[in-house]
Amino acid sequence: MKVLGVDIGKRRMGLAISDKEEKFAFPLGTIEIEKEEEAVERIKEIGEREGAEMIVVGIPYSLKGTITPSTEFAQLIARKLRERGFRVEEIDERLTTREAEKTIGANKITKGKADKIAAALLLQIYLERRRKEDFTF
């Protein structure tokens, strides 16, 4: 099954897609948004176009693990996607953007590129965790 990964931001969101075997996550692109309804609709359209059967939404908790306005916004997007019929999983995505910047090199990266790489990183983490759960005896 293909899985869509979303790195939530208030203005820009990074997207990644898995292969059907759920082994690898690939950066897909970014979307610019102004309102949460616009974000939900765009994510829904992309998910359907890509044949995603599930969406993994990165939830940006603070470094201390507390809820912030960004956390609440990401949870709202996840809830609205569920209301539209998608199977949605949430994953803690702290530091994925920083990790994306380190992976590519901060001097070679644009903000949009970091967002889609962060989406791929959070989706890859999710896929690996699921694979480990499948092999637990």
Residue 131 has a pLDDT of: 85
Beta strand pairing call for 25-32 and 12-18: antiparallel
Count up the domains in the chain and report the number: 1
Do 120 and 25 meet the contact criterion of CB atoms below 8 Å apart? Answer: yes
Do 126 and 89 meet the contact criterion of CB atoms below 8 Å apart? Answer: yes
The residue type found at 108 is: K
Domain that holds residue 130: 2-134
Q: What is the CATH number of the domain that holds 90?
A: 3.30.420.140
Per-residue pLDDT of the chain (137 residues; tens, 9 = 90+): 999 999 998 899 999 999 999 999 999 999 999 888 999 999 999 999 999 999 999 999 888 888 999 999 999 999 999 999 999 999 988 756 555 555 555 555 565 678 898 899 999 999 998 888 765 54
Q: What global pTM score does this model have?
A: 0.86
